[in-house]
Chain A
């Protein structure tokens, strides 16, 4: 799954630079372990809500790759029929309930989905994905309080990639210990290495279990890093192809690439051989090429359909 996300994301870089993809694209490269580990701990019936950087969440929860890439290309065959773009992906049949770019915009929606689970007495869990930037929004704290008060089955998954668009975390918070924000609400809290997919999975499994047992919400901070710019492939300022982040910092994190770490684990423990991994690589490459071909060859929405889908 991590490889699927990575290769799919990287396949978008050229089309973005060539202008074939025009909508804002926030690549998930570097953070794959978080979506993958959580996705593996969830079942199809469970809900997730995402944010501007959610390609990985969508794929890890079972969203169709071709429909996602087509959406990013603004095509009628896209998962949102070309009305949403990269920042509005949806796959309700797989529990991908909503993805939006308003920072913290889906936290309360996830809260409501968790509330619906409680009212209907269903055996489901909701995950709300947000970043370190969302910790500046009041609605996060309102939601933490209400989730704790009503013991709702929701996992607050904070992907701390150290940058809130262009601002390093030191410029938006007095300290880096985001996981502490849930403590005053008496919410079970974890902080894990977000680049270690096994650690993410183990913690997510515990959190899912906690929610399914009716013990209320869980807050998890994942320490991770995005390899690409805030939006687009390279930088925070479109067109200049420079990155505001220190070069040494980027290089250090590239050494902690979640795919490299996991590959090393598989090899060292004799779980997979080089040829296994090569086969997987080929399969994923085939899927990614097919998804891009499907997207490129799909029609744009018909201009006459502009007014569709305002009301059901």
Chain B
């Protein structure tokens, strides 16, 4: 019997974080479309309504704008809301409460009131779901001052980062990915935090720095493992948070390797990958021995047909190819 070796899948890690935070603090509540339905949110909300009641676990009409605004307003009034959008695409109706209101609130009110809200958004890519059920919009949120944006790739980080997001006094966009829900890993039973703004080196190496986050971190790990067998040591950083970026960790690694590949699960133009590339060339250009490579989605909407999806979505093979181009 060793509780440390207990494994949870990604969804249940999130579920445990919500259970523990709602138990610890009565001001925490969950609101959003489908929180009563595994069809929308998988196993992430198991047992919540039964345990905490419908006053604090609120399934809603399809009113993304008002419901997201209500989460923001409740957080202004002293609650800590988690508002979930089971498809990131739906949140486009709610940019006003997220960007105009929550992100600006603390600044435009001169520090008189902050908004401790979590916007939990699930990227729902693949499965022939096409353009309006597959978009990864993390770069758009990362662009906005006043928002923190986290994007975990493991069950362990999902639990710790969700807890940190709930405890944070500021609005946090917690983005995960449907494809991460397949993963399973050790997750401690106790509540713990992963600091927002801190990446982690998943693999030490000297040949090239590979930076990734969220689902593309899983593809990156596969690429790292495969290259290791070929004798290529990749230093792999999983960012875990994309705003604020852990630039120090990236810079230290690139200073060592002189080469950088970034794997970002969204479109190339205006991407987090582009931002990292710019930061590196602005600050440590003299260390670069090769052009920075970006593995991103092509600048086009997600297709439906599996044959098109297979070339649209990037995999470990694309990452390996990019790395080999600059080795």
Within 8 A of B (CB), among A174-215: none
B interface, size bucket:
35 or more
Provide the residues of chain A in CB contact with B55, threshold 8 Å: 118-119
Interface code B101-131, partner A: CB below 8 Å = 1, 0 otherwise?
1000111111111100000000000000000
Does B65 lie within 8 Å of A98, measured CB to CB? no
Chain A CB within 8 A of B77 CB: yes
Are B113 and A112 touching (Cβ within 8 A)? no
Provided the pairs A100-B100, A119-B55, A145-B63 are in contact, do residues A312 and B69 lie with their beta carbons within 8 angstroms? no
For A98, give the chain B residue with the smallest CB separation. B76
Sorting the interface of chain A by its residue count into under 10, 10 to 19, 20 to 34 or 35 or more gives 35 or more
Tell me, yes or no, whether B322 is within 8 Å of chain A by CB. Answer: no
**B18 CB, min distance to chain A CBs, angstroms:** 16
**Cβ-defined partner of B114 (8 Å) among A83, A88, A312:** A312
Indicate whether B97 reaches chain A with its CB closer than 8 angstroms: yes
Interface residues of A in 219-246 (CB under 8 A from B): none
Q: Which of A49-103 contact B (CB under 8 A)?
A: 49, 78-84, 88, 90, 92, 97-98, 100, 102
Contact assessment for B72 and A312 in the assembled complex, using a CB-CB cutoff below 8 Å: no
Bound-state CA distance A146–B70 (Å) is 10
Write the nearest CB–CB distance from A14 to chain B, whole angstroms: 26
- Chain A residue nearest to B54 (CB atoms) is A150
Q: Mark B55-99, 1 if CB is under 8 A from A, else 0.
A: 110101101011111111111111101000000000000001100
Q: Judge whether B113 and A90 touch: CB under 8 Å.
A: yes
- Do residues B70 and A111 form an inter-chain contact, with CB atoms below 8 A? yes
Interface residues of B in 139-154 (CB under 8 A from A): 145-146, 148
A109 engages B112 (CB within 8 Å)? no
For chain B, residues 32 to 52, give those with C-beta under 8 angstroms from any C-beta of chain A: none
When distances are taken between beta carbons in the complex, the residues of chain A under 8 Å from B165 are none
A116 pairs with B100, CB closer than 8 A: no
Known contacts A110-B73, A113-B76, A119-B29, A90 near B109 by CB under 8 Å: yes
The reply to whether the CB of A108 lies closer than 8 angstroms to some CB of chain B is yes
- Check: A167 CB closer than 8 A to any chain B CB: no
* Interface contact A309-B101, CB-CB below 8 Å: no
Interchain CB contact under 8 A, B100 and A146: no
Say whether A310 contacts B106, CB under 8 Å: yes
Which 7 A-B residue pairings sit nearest by Cβ, starting from the closest?
A108-B69, A112-B73, A81-B110, A109-B73, A142-B66, A112-B70, A142-B63
Chain A residues within 8 Å of B, Cβ to Cβ: 47, 49, 78-84, 88, 90, 92, 97-98, 100, 102, 105-120, 126, 138-139, 142-143, 145-146, 149, 308-312
